[in-house]
Amino acid sequence: MCITCGCSDTASPRVSNLEVSQADHLSNHHSSPTHGEHEHDHVHGHHNTHDHEHTVLIEQAILSKNDRIAHHNRQWFQEHNILALNFVSSPGSGKTSLLEQTIRHFIDNIFISVIEGDQETFRDAERIQQTGCQVVPINTGAGCHLDANMLARGLEELHPPHNSLVMIENVGNLICPALFDLGEQAKVVILSTTEGEDKPLKYPHIFQASTIMILNKIDLLPHLTFDVDKCLDYARMVNPHIRIFQVSATTGAGMQSWYDWVQTQRVG
């Protein structure tokens, strides 16, 4: 079992390319970031207290290796003036719906590529494909997060051109994605009003690691007991610098402020 998150190494992640309408716009000058074989170190079996020191060393090795690849990914994004955003949330927060609406808003003016992470199925990738952007699904099997090497392999399939936008939909999980840098410019954590307002306190690491928090499904507030003020206070308690957008990906409420932020992050 992966010492950091419990992922199984019994099967390699499956990276598949789906043909989409933007494919003919691909850059002819793409150079891939540095890649290696998938080297997600694992220790199998249960860990007792006498294994603690060994466990810590392996965890450090996993994260160190991941960080090296993330550094190469980040350099490559910078060299190609590509904005890369890593979207993280619990399952059911509305991540895919948010991506769909964001893609539809920008697709006529920005070349967009999506790396779609799920444990199984291509269902979300097929939804993203319908927007007209290019997408590569990555199935992680028993894995609970994407890592920097998976992203690098996805980029080899996508070949995103200069001055474009890459959006990464991580596996639904608020724990391990906080530990694994992918080389993105920013993590975007999505919390929905159908979850508890104390999520930032229960899962502080992902909120600390995120530049943006999106509070989604605000259209449902009249039907819920969700305390928005408490939620925002809790988020700022764990990360005073986090920027928060309150939106409904379904109705479009509040989305323009989110679009404006994405636009300001793009240089080209």
The domain spans of the chain are 72-265
> Which residues of the chain are modeled with pLDDT < 50?
1, 8-12, 20-44
Give pLDDT tens digits for 118-155.
Answer: 766 677 789 998 999 999 998 766 667 899 999 999 99
**pLDDT of the residue at 4:** 53
**pLDDT of the residue at 122:** 76
In whole angstroms, give the CA distance from residue 164 to residue 155: 13
**How long a stretch of residues is the chain?**
268
- The domain 72-265 having CATH identifier 3.40.50.720: the answer here is no
Q: Choose among 219, 242, 252, 207: nearest CA to 100.
A: 252
In whole angstroms, give the CA distance from residue 157 to residue 16: 8
- Reported as type and span, the H/E element at residue 90 is none
Q: Choose among 172, 141, 135: nearest CA to 155.
A: 135
DSSP 146-199: --HHHHHHHHHHH-PPTT-EEEEE--S-SSGGGT---S-SEEEEEEETTS-TTH
**pLDDT of the residue at 14:** 59
In whole angstroms, give the CA distance from residue 110 to residue 163: 8
Q: Choose among 120, 101, 122, 84: nearest CA to 217.
A: 101
Q: Please name the residue ranges forming H helices in the chain.
A: 52-79, 95-106, 123-129, 148-158, 199-202, 204-209, 228-238, 255-265
The answer to whether 116 touches 169, Cβ cutoff 8 Å, is yes
0.75 surpassed by pTM: yes
Bridge partners (DSSP) of residue 215 are 191, 246
